[in-house]
Amino acid sequence: MSETKYIFVTGGVVSSLGKGIVAASLGKLLQARGYKVTIQKFDPYINVDPGTLNPYEHGECYVTMDGHEADLDLGHYERFLNVPTTKANNITTGRIYQSVINKERRGDYLGKTVQVVPHITDEIKRNIMLLGTKSNFDFVITEIGGTVGDIESLPYIESVRQLRWELGKNCLCVHLTYVPYVAAAKEVKTKPTQHSVKALQEMGVQPEILVLRTERELEKSICKKVALFCNVEEDAVIQSYDVKSIFEVPIVLAKQKMDEIILRKMGMQVGKEPEMTDWKEFLNRMSTAEKSVKIALVGKYVELPDAYKSINESLLQAATYHYRKLDLNFIHSEKINDENVAEQLSSMDGIVIAPGFGQRGIEGKFVAIKYARENNKPTFGICLGMQCMVIEYARNVLGLQDANSTEMDSKTPHKVIDLMEEQKNLVNMGGSMRLGAYDCKILKGSLAFKIYGKELVQERHRHRYEFNNEYKTQFEENGMKCTGINPETGLVEVIEIPKLKWFLGVQFHPEYNSTVVNPNPLFMSFVEAAINT
């Protein structure tokens, strides 16, 4: 295929309809037909990237291989497509303006007045096209964050309008809206959809495909009505009703031939319907598994499951491959103490100690780790979780009273976790952590080596603090081994206690690197150990 095709996914009526899932599902269907697909997300906020946002604002911060702190939708894209994303896959208004302002300061605009149209819209368009022909993708799917009609999404919709004009048949717009059921009237309502399409039309964009999000399946007559009012062909009104798992969405869309309709509209050969055997097998396991595996996730954002999105998904993948339902229990690290820890954790098959920042909830993590270690429960510490395993061991086994991370206590007498050298003189907090994929050399004979089955692995990072190598010998002589080391810097990436069944901590984030068809081996092994307790 010579020319890249561009598909835009916009949203209307309300947010949180799952545009990311629809974009990822559509990507999956096109990929299953043999096309090279990438998905990007434009976020209309002013932050340059979501790295400085707290999880209450936007859920988890996802990290790409090339070290970009990204929106959590990129995690969906990777989990669905099993293709890594990069910095180019997530752009914010802040980044667009930053780039335009830098150009203006350099004098690139040669005395012109710099304006939203054409300068901001040109920069948006440049970033959309960047992923296309240059990177050899057949399809670039671009999800526009926010809702049509928001002040902040205007320049994006305007860019879509211009690109449709410039790209002709190589460009298409999918609009996702909401069809609510009004219980008192016992009716579903299409008016919000009509209004939202009208808003899009007023901005010069006529969507070719509508995806209606609904709680229950809609009657054909409803889709027919929407088609009539919105200038969309009847078969191009697709519904996305609630399903048990987001991974069923591609199947729901395929049943209505969404991919076929798109190919047809873009003047492409339709070809044979793909089998998607692996995907269906995964779904089948998920729905037929009877026994469950009970996992505790100890962290401080329990009321906010999106904060640990990729961890939840990685555990779900691993449980499904082991033919188990995932029984995931969020344990609030601020509410766990010596008195209630047994009650909260004794029935768990495995315990995950979550990543995080700052002091809040940290003491509860130590209590949970001590309990897990003394009761030989499969335990998996991720980033801050690993650092907490180290601190707990220092305090309770090595007898280093008040050992801590300098993140929590800068005056601790035992800095077993300390700020990395290159972090010491930093002024800017944005994008300045140790980010992205780094090599890790795994020690032969360790649990980590048994799991990975190889000596060199790459995993993604997002942290400022590290294991303090001055204490390494002391830990190793007393039963906690450092079994993964960065070959260039000597930074400790993996720790484990070999005499326990499965007790391992990683400084990196293996959850960013776990997809439906390629689950991360650490999660697979941890869940297996949890099942076998």
Distance CA 52, CA 57 (A): 10
Task: Write down the least CB distance from residue 52 to ligand GLN, Å.
Answer: 13
| Residue from 272, 307, 414 nearest 60 by CA | 307
- Please tell me the count of residues contacting ligand GLN according to CB under 6 A: 10
Shortest spacing between CB 414 and ligand GLN, in angstroms: 17
Which of residues 10 and 468 has its CB atom nearest to ligand GLN in the complex?
468
Considering the complex, state which of residue 247 and residue 508 has its C-beta at the smaller distance from ligand GLN. Answer: 508
Residue 383 is among the residues annotated as catalytic for this protein:
yes
- Indicate the residue among 213 and 463 with the shorter CB distance to ligand GLN: 463
Residue 355 binds ligand GLN (CB under 6 A):
yes
Alpha-carbon distance 90 to 456, whole Å?
29
Burial 266-293 (b: 16+ CB within 10 A, else e): bebeeeeebebeebeebbebbeebeeeb
Nearer to ligand GLN, 203 or 420 (CB): 420
Cβ distance 7 to 140 under 8 Å?
A: yes
325 binds ligand GLN per the rule CB under 6 A? no
Q: Using CB under 6 A, which of 463, 480, 497, 523 touches ligand GLN?
A: 463
In the set 28, 119, 415, 464, which binds ligand GLN (CB under 6 A)? Answer: 464
DSSP string, 293-333: EEEEEEES-TT-GGGGHHHHHHHHHHHHHTT-EEEEEEEEG
Q: Any residues with CB less than 8 A from the CB of 25 and at least 6 apart, and which?
A: 80, 249, 250, 252, 253
Cβ closest to ligand GLN, residue 28 vs residue 461? 461
Single out the catalytic residue among 119, 414, 463, 509.
Answer: 509
Looking at the Cβ atoms of 384 and 495, the one nearer to ligand GLN is: 384
Annotated catalytic residue, options 61, 171, 230, 383:
383
Closest CA to 156 of 135, 131, 127, 178: 127
Check residue 356 for interaction with ligand GLN (CB under 6 A). yes
Out of 118, 357, 396, 489, name the contact with ligand GLN by CB under 6 A: 357
Q: Tell me which stretch binds ligand GLN (CB under 6 A): 16-24, 52-60, 344-352, 355-363.
A: 355-363
- Rounded to a whole number of angstroms, the minimum distance from the CB of residue 128 to ligand GLN is 31
Residue identified by tokens 């090595």 is 398
- Subset of 371-390 contacting ligand GLN (CB under 6 A): 383-384
Among 465, 512, 523, 526, contact with ligand GLN (rule: CB under 6 A) = 465
Element (H, E) at 195: helix 191-202
The answer to whether residues 350 and 315 touch, using CB atoms and an 8 Å cutoff, is no
Of 363, 331, 325, 358, the residue nearest 344 (C-alpha):
331
Instruction: Output the smallest distance, CB 195 to ligand GLN, in A.
Output: 42
Is 173 annotated as catalytic? no
As measured in angstroms, the least distance from the Cβ of 486 to ligand GLN is 14
Q: Which is nearer to ligand GLN, 163 or 384 (CB)?
A: 384
Q: What x-and-dash track marks residues 84-123 binding ligand GLN by CB under 6 A? A: ----------------------------------------
Nearest to 510 by CA among 317, 302, 292: 317
459 in catalytic set: no
Query: Taking CB under 6 A as the criterion, which residues in 388-407 touch ligand GLN?
Result: 407
The amino acid sitting at 274 is: P
Q: How far is the CB of 386 from ligand GLN (least distance, A)?
A: 8
Residue 508 binds ligand GLN (CB under 6 A) = no
Q: Is 327 exposed, middle or buried (0-12, 13-18, 19+ CB in 10 A)?
A: middle
Q: At what angle do helices 309-321 and 277-288 cross, to 10 degrees?
A: 90
CA distances (Å), 448 to each of 57, 378, 380, 414, 512, in order?
A: 35, 14, 12, 27, 18
d(CA 458, CA 221): 52
Q: 3-state class of 137 per DSSP?
A: coil
Distance CA 509, CA 436 (A): 9
Other Cβ atoms closer than 10 A to 325: 18
* Minimum distance, C-beta of residue 361 to ligand GLN, in the bound complex (Å): 12
- The residue from 414, 462, 472, 481 that contacts ligand GLN (CB under 6 A) is 462
Q: Which of 123, 407, 511, 528 is catalytic?
A: 511
CB of 354 to ligand GLN, least distance (A): 8
**Annotated catalytic sites, by residue?**
383, 509, 511
Chain residues that interact with ligand GLN, rule: CB under 6 A: 355-357, 383-384, 407, 462-465
